[in-house]
Structure 1
Amino acid sequence: MAVPYKLLRTTGSLANKSTLKVVLDEYGTVGIATLAKLIDKATTMTKADLVGALEALKTEMVNQLMDGNRVHLPGLGYFSLSVKGELYEDPRSHKFRLRNAYVRTVNFRPDKQLLKELSYARFENRTYSSETCTMPTDEEIAAALAHLFAESPLILVGDLQSALHISRPMAYRLSRRLESDGKLRNVGSRYRKMFVKGER
């Protein structure tokens, strides 16, 4: 297997720096069920062992991160919190603090061992493959949305990808455009978007 990528023209502020950018044309997302099945075949661990271990690991990682610690998983890398909030200056002490602080994301820094193993990855240019490399027309998009919403009041990015036969990165770009145009409205989270019909 090879990592598929496409070369796309840059837009916006990036256009001044380079005419083309590399975008991974991801095959899809591999979940715990698939990983458990593969690990079950390769080791003495059962699916239940793996799922239980991962659940326990997640719980402990959350606890450690919320205590302000960085978590290191040997062979994988380091996990740490990225925090955001409103910068506030106390009028009396003139000291700064964060107000309404929240976890923006979880930072990940891979171990050198992981990067070394990934250095053997092969890459495949799918820019000029037989698959569609351009964004679908407005008519195709409208027809796909009508079909998807006729089947369910809620759609995901993967539904757009399947209905329009486009790559996952392109589906994400399209969903952002449709959301900006008011044709889709996100009722999920920032990182797990679920769309209903927009007002336009």
Structure 2
Amino acid sequence: MAIQFELYKVPSPKDKEDKELYHARVVNFQHISTNQLAREIQMATSLTEGDVKAVLESLSHFMGSRLQEGERVHLEGIGYFQIKLNSKEPITSPKQKANQMKLKANVSFTADKKLKNSISIVKVARSKVKIHSLSHSETEIDRLLTNYFKHNQILTRRDLQQVCTFTQTTAIRHLKRLKEEKKLQNINTYHQPIYVPMPGYYGKPKQ
């Protein structure tokens, strides 16, 4: 199956009259969950679906513990995970103490050579759906999300982009609307939101 992509215009300063440039971006319409991967691994190995999910849960726990210690974690055939620090405010002196800084930790990932090689040869095709002109009514968005939550428990901004083929800006705008309409609830932090349906919406029973 070919990887579908669409072309997006590269933003340029308004005061410049450079030739228009475009970049290719993968258009992914399907979200693969842990449950789906666990079922596929079960079919290909002697492990049960429960075994796979238990291993993945433990892997996440112990990787998190190692990363908290500042260690770099290597999963052979997959890649390297490590903590990356970003400062929320400018650091004005090399002598500044840790308690005087506002640092945010993120996890960075570098793919292993084996993983890179596995995708070195891929088939690509222009998307038949023109992302730039695609729009959904609020009713259509509700229908797509109802179907999405049949197979998934949580929703992120990136998930909404994929489900509705939205740009990042459009997805953020609709997430704000859905929160205001009490259809979605953020169960995580403000900067890293994770959404779940409110009672009475997207298949979740009313209380």
C-alpha contact 1:39 1:45 (8 A) present in aligned 2 = yes
Query: Where do residues 28-107 of structure 1 align in structure 2 (5 Å cutoff)?
Result: 28-85=30-87, 86=89, 95-98=95-98, 99-103=101-105, 105-107=106-108
Residue matched to 2:168: 172
Q: Which runs of 5+ in 1 are unaligned?
A: none
CA positional deviation for 1:3: 1.2
TM norm structure 1: 0.69
**Residue 117 (structure 1) shift:** 1.0
What is the CA–CA distance in structure 2 between the aligned matches of 1:176 and 1:17, rounded to whole Å? Answer: 30
Pick one of 119, 131, 138 that aligns with 1:133.
Answer: 131
Count of residue pairs brought into register by the alignment = 174
Shift of 1:132: 4.1
The 1:191–1:22 alpha-carbon spacing in structure 2 relative to 1, beyond 3 Å, is farther
- Tell me the alpha carbon deviations over residues 113-165 of structure 1, each in whole angstroms, 9 at most, x when there is no partner: 11011112211211xx2x3433456xx656657x68xx9xxx97556876xxx
Deviation at 1:38, TM superposition (A): 0.6
- Offset at 1:76? 0.5
Query: Identity of paired residues, percent?
Result: 21
Cα pair distance change 1:80/1:8, threshold 3 Å:
same
TM-score, normalized by length of structure 2? Answer: 0.67
Per the TM alignment, residue 23 of structure 1 is displaced from its structure 2 partner at its CA by 1.3
Q: Secondary structure of the equivalent of 1:107?
A: strand
Question: Shift in Å at residue 47 of structure 1?
Answer: 0.6
Contact 2:73 2:82 in 1 (8 A): yes
The unaligned stretches of length 5 or more in structure 2 are 147-154, 198-207
**Quick one: distance in 2 between partners of 1:10 and 1:88?**
31
List per-residue Cα deviations over 1:29-88 (Å, max 9, x = no partner). Answer: 111110011111111111111011111111110010001100000000100011223456
Change in CA separation of 1:156 and 1:24 when aligned onto 2, cut-off 3 Å: same
Whole-Å Cα distance in 1 between the matches of residues 173 and 160 of structure 2? Answer: 16
